[in-house]
Amino acid sequence: MFNPPHSILYIDALHAFLREDWGTQDWTTDAVPDRPMAAQVVAKAELVLAGMPIAVNVFRAVDPGLEVRCLNADGERVQPGQEVMTVTGSSRSILMAERVMLNLLQRLSGTATLTRQFVEAIEGTGARILDTRKTTPGLKVLEKYAVRCGGGFNHRLTLGDGVLLKENHIAAAGGIRVAVESAKGIAPNLVKIEVEAETLDQVRECLTVADVDGILLDNMTNDQMREAVQLRDASGRRMFLEASGNLSLDRAWSAAETGVDFLSIGALTHSAPAADLSLRLA
C-alpha cells in the first residue's frame, strides 16, 4: 500500500485542471439528460496502477455526491479488461470529470508501469532506480509518487532537498573543489552534496574532496562506470555513485551490473507512455 501525497498539495491543481477543461460551458454534457448511472474504469492493457486516490478526488471535486469505489490499489499490476474503479451517481457529473480523471490516471499509471519495467530489468544487481527533476510543472509531486508506486525511489523533490553540483554550477564556481566548499558553507548540516562528473579525472578529483557524499556519472560508458566503482572502492570513501544519461531499458542491466548504487532515469517522468484506461458509462 502506497501513501499518496496529502491532497492539500494538489487539490488546487485539480480544480485548475477542471476549470481549464470546462471552459465557459460543457455544451455536450448539458445536451444529455442528467440521471443516476454507473460507470467503470477499465484497464485496456497490462499496467501498474498509480493515481487512484487522485482520481477519486477529481470525482469528488466535481460532485461530492458521487460514490466512488476503488477495486485495486496503487502499485498493483492489472490485466487488460480488468475493472479498477466504479462510480455511481449523476451522469453529468461523471461525464464532466471523465477526461481530467483519465488524463491523470493514465499519465501516472504510465510512469508507474515504466518504472516497474526498469526495476525488474535490474533485479538482483543491488542498484536502485531513481527519478529526476525532469517532471511536468504542476505535476511533480504526483509524478514522483507514481515512481514510488512502480518500485522506484525519489531523487530530490525540490532544489532544497540536496546539493547537486552539475556542469554549469561547477563552471560558475570555478571548479569542483571551490564549488563543494562553497556549498558546504551554506547548506544545512544534513544536506548531502553530490557532484556531476563527466570524466574519470573528475571522479578522481571528487574522491580527494572531503565533503563530497556522492558522484553522478554523467553519460559514461559501462567500462568507465566500472572503473569509477573501482576507484571509489580503492579510495575507501563511502560515497554513492549514480549513473545518469542514455540509460534505456536495454542497457539498464549492464549499467547496474557495473556496481553503481543508483540509475537515475529522466524518462520515467518526461517520456513514459500513457497507460491505456477508459471509462464506460452504463
Enzyme catalytic residues:
99, 134, 166, 196, 218
Output the nine-digit C-alpha cell for 17.
485542471
Say how far apart CA 67 and CA 173 lie, in whole Å.
56
DSSP codes joined into one string, 179-235 = HHHHHHHHS-TT--EEEEESSHHHHHHHHT-TT--EEEEES--HHHHHHHHHHHHHH
Angle separating helix axes 52-62 and 11-22, nearest 10 degrees: 60
Amino acid (one-letter) located at 174: G
Exposure string of 237-264, with b = 16+ CB inside 10 Å and e = fewer, is bebebbbbeebeeeebeebbbbbbbbbb
Give the Cα separation of 219 and 197 in Å (integer).
Answer: 9
**Look-up: residue for cell 480544480?**
15
CA distance 156 to 130: 9
Please, what's the b/e burial string for 181-205 (b: 16 or more CB within 10 A of its CB; e: otherwise)? eebbeeeeeeebbbbbbbeeebbeb
109 in Cβ contact with 50 (< 8 Å): yes
Instruction: Quote the CA–CA distance of 145 and 136 in Å, as a whole number.
Output: 13
Cell output for 62: 466535481
